[in-house]
Amino acid sequence: MSSVSTKARSAISPTGSPNHNETADILSSALTRLEAAARHVSIDSDVLEKLRYPKETLSARLMIRMDDGSRRSFLAWRCRYDDTRGPTKGGIRYHPEASMDEVQTLAFWMMCKCAVTNLPYGGGKGAVRVDPHKLSKAELERLSRAYVHAFANMIGPDRDIPAPDVYTNAMIMGWMADEYSSLVGAPCPAVITGKPITLGGSLGRDDATSLGGYYVLNVLAKDLGLQGKQRVAIQGFGNAGWHIARLLHADGHKIVAISDSRGAIANPDGLDPAAVLEAKNRGGSVTAYAEGGKAKTIDPETLIATDCDILVPAALENTITSRNAGSVRARIILELANGPVTPSGDKILQDKKIIVLPDILANAGGVTVSYFEWVQNRQGYYWSLEEVQSKLRVIMEREGRLIWQISRDKDIDVRTAAYVVALERLAKAIEAHGTQNYFAA
């Protein structure tokens, strides 16, 4: 395992990338949001200096035996961005285009998200550069166990607590918790969240991200002018995309377009999300639903330009950029994905008066229920689904209202208001150790 420089950042190859500069260094671009928020709060200069760089990032090469007897290695990272407010927390992503810059940025967002929800956590994240669809189930298990071996000294229930992210799931978290427990010689479920229920997972974790976004949308519906039935377009139909489609459809809203990595479908009269899921599971893509004539296939690139009221990006980062933000016709964007809008994309959306409910608020339900899982593991006492969901609702509605109010009071966009809340909480914790004024006095 080697320590890597925080300066050497590689480029990702994002979806919808307009040009290299807009998306190549996503951490610098993410930091601009914190700097924008800093103009609206009074904080010590030490604070931004501390939050500008990740605390530690480790890279490793995971070497595993493949089913055909050969050995292959995979590049992997874990980043602990900042732990002033508590142990770092954040998912592990398996993706063929994962990079260190992306991991550090996702860790930064986790730090902000945990502050927005006021959880006693800092931010962390991990990734393996791999296409998990090309591995057998046994190879995937060996890779997941190898990840824990490589980063065993970095993670821990009081230090850094991973969770699932894109293309990782509950079973993988179960393998990882098992591997960690065998390394420390005792069961240690609190080291990882998002585990299967029988291995210490929490009820309500699977749809927590979407449910959190749904609570925020509902509590602000009146302020957002969202009375009555709305038309919704969803980009990405995995965990986050499916559950938000299900929840909004159940309330009578019309899901008019859905995409995944292989294609997109649309029907202005509405799609049935459960039937779309069934078709995707059968045919490998949401486009299988169009075969019976119940929808037409559309170019996935045009999904964000769908004529609708609410657009939900629920795939990957950097999908709404300076190139395509001008084509958005929705009035509201609910960011379930992390970082789906670039800063230049944001500027265009603001000019068009489109309200963005930002990722660090809108998708924070996932980490909130992960926190509940960790609390339950440490207590050895497990809550009912109703308890989990009512506690989640309290947090999402409280922070959603607070952020909305700040955006109105300060006349700033909702994203900047969310960063104001995060920055104020981070600043209080950092300043509690003493500021320049305190020591120079």
Which residues participate in catalysis according to the annotation?
A: 125
Residue among 13 and 390 whose Cβ is closer to ligand NAD: 13
The reply to whether 109 sits near ligand NAD by the rule CB under 6 A is no
Q: Which stretch binds ligand NAD (CB under 6 A): 2-10, 28-36, 229-237, 423-431?
A: 229-237
SS3 state of residue 18: coil
For ligand NAD, the closer of residues 190 and 244 by Cβ is 244
Cβ proximity of 35 and 423 under 8 Å: no
Contacts with 218 (C-beta within 8 Å, 6 or more apart), sequence order: none
Instruction: From residue 441, give the alpha-carbon distance in Å to each of 43, 436, 438.
Output: 17, 8, 6
Site string for ligand NAD, 277-316 (x = CB under 6 A): -----------------------x-------------xxx
C-beta of 71: minimal distance to ligand NAD in Å?
Answer: 27
What is the identity of the amino acid at 314?
Answer: A
Query: How many positions of this chain bind ligand NAD (CB under 6 A)?
Result: 24
Residue 127 binding ligand NAD, by CB under 6 A = no
Of positions 259, 267, 377, 416, contacts ligand NAD by CB under 6 A: 259
Alpha carbon distance 51, 430 (integer Å): 10
The DSSP string of 162-189 is EEE-TT--HHHHHHHHHHHHHHHTS--G
For the CB of residue 341, give the shortest distance to ligand NAD in the complex, in Å.
12
Minimal distance in Å, beta carbon 264 to ligand NAD? Answer: 7
Residue 240 binds ligand NAD, judged by CB under 6 A: yes
Token pair 């490793």 is found at 60
Residue with tokens 């039937």: 275
Q: Which is nearer to ligand NAD, 67 or 299 (CB)?
A: 299
Say whether residue 116 binds ligand NAD (CB under 6 A).
Answer: no
Among 167, 175, 215, 404, binds ligand NAD (CB under 6 A): 167
Q: Is 162 in the site for ligand NAD (CB under 6 A)?
A: no
Footprint of ligand NAD on 345-384 (CB under 6 A): 363, 366
Write the single-letter amino acid at 83: D
Q: Contacting ligand NAD (CB under 6 A), which of 239, 318, 368, 407?
A: 239
Q: Is 193 near ligand NAD (CB under 6 A)?
A: no
Q: Which span (143-151, 255-263, 321-329, 395-403) binds ligand NAD, by CB under 6 A?
A: 255-263
Query: Which residues sit opposite 355 in a β-bridge?
Result: 332
CB of 235 to ligand NAD, least distance (A): 5
Closest to ligand NAD by CB, 43 or 90: 90
Q: How far is the CB of 259 from ligand NAD (least distance, A)?
A: 4
105 lies in the binding site for ligand NAD (CB under 6 A): no
- Residue 235 phi/psi, 5-degree rounding, is -100, 115
Per rule CB under 6 A, is residue 336 in the interface with ligand NAD? yes
Tokens of 82: 């900042």
3-state SS class at 264: strand
| 204 vs 434: CA distance, rounded Å | 40
Choose one: 76-84, 120-128, 248-256, 336-344; the region binding ligand NAD (CB under 6 A). 336-344
* Residue span binding ligand NAD (CB under 6 A) among the ranges 82-90, 234-242, 325-333, 383-391: 234-242
For 105, phi then psi, to 5°, come to -70, -45
Distance of alpha carbon 319 from alpha carbon 1, whole angstroms = 33
Helices assigned H by DSSP within 185-225: 208-219
Q: Do residues 63 and 143 make contact, with C-beta atoms less than 8 angstroms apart?
A: no
Could you say whether residue 237 binds ligand NAD (CB under 6 A)?
Answer: yes
* Separation CA 367–CA 164 (nearest Å): 10
DSSP state of 35: H
Return d(Cα 164, Cα 154) in angstroms, integer.
17
Q: How far is the CB of 6 from ligand NAD (least distance, A)?
A: 21
Say which residues have a Cβ less than 8 Å from residue 411's Cβ, sequence separation at least 6.
none
DSSP 59-110: EEEEEEE-TTS-EEEEEEEEEEEE-TTSSEEEEEEEETT--HHHHHHHHHHH
Q: Which of residues 172 and 219 has its CB atom nearest to ligand NAD in the complex? A: 172
Kindly state the smallest distance separating residue 244's Cβ from ligand NAD, in Å. 9
Binding segment for ligand NAD (CB under 6 A), chosen from 69-77, 222-230, 257-265, 411-419, is 257-265
Q: Does 235 bind ligand NAD (CB under 6 A)?
A: yes
By CB under 6 A, name the binding residues for ligand NAD: 15, 165-167, 209, 235-241, 259-261, 300, 314-316, 336-338, 363, 366
